[in-house]
Amino acid sequence: MTARWPLPTIAFGGDYNPEQWDRSVWREDVALMQRAGVTLVTVGVFAWSRIEPEPDRFELDWLREVLDLLHDGGIAVDLATPTASPPPWLGAMHPETLPVTADGVRLTWGSRNQFSPSSPIYRARALAVTRAVAQAFADHPAVVMWHVGNELGQVDHSDVAAHAFRDWLTQRYGGVEALNRSWATDVWSQGYRSLAEVQPPRAAPYHRNPAQALDFRRFTSDELRSLYREQRAVIREHDARRPVTTNLMGFFALADYATWADDLDVVADDAYPDPADPRALTDAALTQDLMRSLRGGQPWLLMESATSGVGWRAHDLTKSPARSRLESLQAVAHGADAVCFFQWRQARSGPERFHSAMLPTAGPDTAVHAGVRRLGADLARLAPVVGTRSSAQVALLWDWPSWWAARGEAMPTDRLDPLETLRAWHRPLWDARVAVDVVGPPADLGGYRAVLAPALHLIDDIVAAHLRAYVAAGGTLVLGPFTGVVDPSTHLHRGRTPALLGDVLGAGVQEHVPLPDGGVTARWRDSALGTEEVRVHDFTGHADALDPLTEVLLALGPADDLPGLEHLAGSAVVTRRRQETGGTTGAGTAWLVTGVLPDVDLAAVLHRALADAGVEPFLPGAPAGVEVTRRGDALFVLNHTAAEVHLEIAQLALALDLDPATATLTDLLTARRFTTTDTPVALAPQGVLVPMETR
């Protein structure tokens, strides 16, 4: 967290939309917020038409009244630029500000997000309203941070976007000759005479150029980032002190957040785990680790979440207050210094009227609001963890352009989703209570015992050199299926893939093989990993070991087990190459997993790789389904099971690097003290324990 972070406790609150309510409600809101322990609210996100009801006529007195009330009530404000949802007058007066789909349909107002990020007119109006708000409230004592827009993720294929895309391409390539080379436009006779002929990847008779599609994704992310930067610059003209951010959306496919991180004073995220998904909380932990990792381990803010249902799922399961509390404290465990919800008061009208809120329409005497008040009290007790960090021995590599390239048109299979692969590889680590960072290549990998790249489809020479150096220095590298196949222009690397790392792996893939339904049989050659047959499903590579130091640990069965795919008999599915110190390639170990494995077999491979790297499970005595993470001097223990579990206090002390014989621990949430002479502590279903050394 930056030094400018203003709150001494875990911030607690949510989006507040007073413009949707009569003035008579505002004082009641502040009083109820105080009772609930609310310390921070986001104001103004969707208030543009109220702030500027017509061009250049700004009405800000009502907003000042709201900020005064909140400040008098001891509640801080994250003040938003209201630029995410332009008023109807902008689209009516300037239809060129409205976005166009790839099919040529111009979208209209009446919802939200109806703007082209590239439109000069939209940007001018957005900066005007941003300037009006910043000038008026930069010195207001309620304002502790700034919030630019909302969930920036708009895509536009209009002529306005086409002009901006060409400017971006000029910056990237310099001229049409370099673009033609990068895009390989001799394919299908698509060579350009000038950049003026280039269009966004609009609807076409057949598959579009994958290099063009990838560059348009890069451009779209950069356009959204420049939109953020412009508004931030206006805020900075009036306020050089308070942090500025915008709310990200986890593993969001339309923006490369790794390139945004340095522009954010603090990372903020919106998260809505689905209670119907049994893997939602493990996947949430992965997203939280990404948010923490974007700025090198700094604490981040959970800017939006839901107290119960969200109102936009087809079958929208609600969740209990206990589940909401568990999700919130999990975020804190993974580095969040704020827990906020959408929204404070449940809407009575509009599309989000069935979205849950901190204060339901049924009023404060409800189970949901009682849960909110309990959570507010919990978070107030966690002040000792504010600003503290976590550490990890394992890195998961994740790269947005690689994700985009692997999900393009005309791929060998659409069943190999990089994000789902990342999640599948993360789950065994979560089960083993192994802390991870989620970092983008080329990152500094020197501090990690193991680096896992489950879905790094795109690799260039720079990334390959970093990975090679990491292994040479003694690190353990594990690569997943369909890795290292293309370069930054989506051109296939020559040779067996991943060609740029063939010397490190001592193995390579000669053909990518989507598999028939039901998969194919593989057999372990290392009994320590397994003895049962494995059904490799969906996808594998036709791979070989190419070096005497490379071991084949799992291989496809004999030809009789592979009808129609007899040529794959004995193909390597899992390989490992270990080089002794002083060898030509280095002292580390490189693994290659070419196929999609069942969860239990993937877990066996990853656990073996981590064990070889010297990575041990955290709190190995804890029952399955109990998440344990360390943040600073505090341990977070979260029971994700439906049963009560019992924890040995000596194990908790060891996890905090304390002497079990003398340690005394205090649960920050209850102030209860424990010593190793006490009986094991019981943790209820969905319960949370936060022990810290008693001082």
Q: Is 243 helix (H, G, I), strand (E, B) or coil?
A: coil
Which residues are CB-neighbours of 14 under 8 A, at least 6 positions away? Answer: 38, 41, 42, 304, 340, 341, 342, 343, 344, 357, 358
Which residues are CB-neighbours of 537 under 8 A, at least 6 positions away? Answer: 515, 518, 519, 596, 597, 598
Give the CA dihedral 470, 473, 474, 475, nearest 10 degrees.
-20
Is residue 616 annotated as part of the catalytic site, yes or no? no
Q: What is the DSSP letter of 582?
A: T
Distance CA 13, CA 542 (A): 53
| DSSP H or E stretch at residue 392 | none
Do residues 425 and 602 touch, judged by C-beta distance below 8 A? yes
Task: Give the number of residues written for the chain.
Answer: 695
The CA R_g of the chain, rounded to the nearest whole Å, is 27
Closest CA to 674 of 655, 636, 647: 647
Q: Averaged over 363-372, what is the pLDDT?
A: 98
Q: Averaged over 493-514, what is the pLDDT?
A: 97
pLDDT of residue 497: 97
Which residues are CB-neighbours of 57 under 8 A, at least 6 positions away? Answer: none
Q: Which of 304, 327, 551, 627 is catalytic?
A: 304
CB atoms within 10 A of CB 153: 18
Q: Which of 151, 327, 551, 627 is catalytic?
A: 151
Instruction: Kindly report, residue by residue over 537-579, the tens digit of the pLDDT.
Output: 999 999 999 999 999 999 999 998 899 999 999 999 999 999 7
Instruction: Kindly report, residue by residue over 254-288, the tens digit of the pLDDT.
Output: 999 999 999 999 999 999 999 999 999 999 999 99
Q: What is the pTM of this model?
A: 0.96
106, with CB counted inside 10 A (0-12, 13-18, 19+), is middle
Instruction: Kindly report, residue by residue over 216-247, the tens digit of the pLDDT.
Output: 999 999 999 999 999 999 999 999 999 999 99
With a pLDDT cut of 90, the percent of the chain lying above it is 95
Closest CA to 290 of 275, 304, 302: 302
Closest CA to 346 of 333, 337, 356: 356
pLDDT band of 4, cuts 50, 70, 90: low
Q: Is the pLDDT of residue 45 over 50?
A: yes
| DSSP H or E stretch at residue 483 | none
- DSSP code string of 99-127: -B-TTSPBP-SSSS----TT-HHHHHHHH
Least confident of 6-15, 209-218, 502-511, 635-644: 6-15
Q: Is the pLDDT of residue 583 over 80?
A: no
Strand residues in 202-308 grouped as ranges (E): 244-245, 247-248, 268-270, 300-304
Instruction: Kindly report, residue by residue over 455-474, the tens digit of the pLDDT.
Output: 999 999 999 999 999 999 99
* β partners of residue 80: 147
Q: What is the DSSP letter of 188?
A: G
Q: Averaged over 314-335, what is the pLDDT?
A: 97
Distance CA 225, CA 531 (A): 51
Closest CA to 36 of 385, 347, 387, 345: 345
Q: Averaged over 625-646, what is the pLDDT?
A: 96
CB atoms within 10 A of CB 580: 8
Q: Averaged over 311-316, what is the pLDDT?
A: 95
- What tokens does 507 get? 């193995």
pLDDT of residue 3: 39
Q: Is the pLDDT of residue 5 over 70?
A: no
Give the CA dihedral 390, 391, 394, 400, nearest 10 degrees.
50
Distance CA 289, CA 149 (A): 24
